[in-house]
Amino acid sequence: MAGKKVLIVYAHQEPKSLNGSLKTTAVDELTKQGCSVTVSDLYRMQFEPRATRSDINGDLHNPKQFNYGAEAWEAYKNGQLSEDLVEEQRKVKEADLVIFQFPLYWFSMPAIMKGWVDRVFVQGFAHDFPKCYESGLLKNKLALLSFTTGGGQGLYSEEGICGNIRYLLWPMQHGIMHFCGLSVLAPHICFAPEYVPEEERVRMLTSWTNRLKTIWEEKPINCTPEWYYK
């Protein structure tokens, strides 16, 4: 949809990977729609995933005992966060849709992407209790997890050894995105791309393109325990 702004937070080391192709496909299709697309390519940026004292410019609120969460909150309020965090927060503020593109690592997102969340989604910017979930500070924005897995779809089922993938996504979709007020669209999952024929990988990219054509018409999923665990 023309005029919409999209941020793609991308975590993969190899541009020629399927994740790289999915990222490029999203940029091409959304740009074709007239959207403004920004990519945070975390590995290329050498994004620092560690939440440290370096994230706070100037004096600490409590120099006697360092508490990252409390200090980042104060720094955000006082305009004292490091420049890289201010820049990423600016991208999030401007976005109507945030797409997280990554390979599934240990039932979660890669460390560099989790570090992006830890450092960017600080209190005061993304949440500020009781301003969380439906009242989260990032409400009125959409979020979507697009990722690849190492195992086939059957492994992530009720009968599979990994269990229902819906449960696996609970910490990310509910505990991060929903907590911060983001409206969560259904995940886009490409199962085991390394172990399928080339034509199947092409089909995966075509499926992603087709979904993006109508992405602005989609309704968010229900991020409640009853929906996840019924």
For 180-198, the pLDDT digits (tens) are 999 999 999 999 999 999 9
**Nearest Cα to 33, choosing from 155, 197, 158, 216?**
216
The residues, ordered by sequence, that sit 6+ positions from 28 with a Cβ below 8 Å of its Cβ are: none
Q: How far is CA 213 from the centre of its chain?
A: 20
Three-state DSSP class for residue 100: strand
Rounded Cα gap, residues 169 and 57, in angstroms: 34
Query: pLDDT per residue over 23-80, tens digit each?
Result: 999 999 999 999 999 999 999 999 999 999 999 999 999 999 999 999 999 999 999 9
The alpha carbon dihedral of 128, 129, 133, 135 has a sign of negative
> Domain limits at 89?
5-229
pTM strictly above 0.85: yes
Peptide bond into 130 cis (omega under 30): yes
CATH number at residue 128: 3.40.50.360
Q: Count the helix, strand and coil residues of the chain and give each as a percent rounded to the nearest 5.
A: 45, 15, 40
| Count of structural domains, the chain | 1
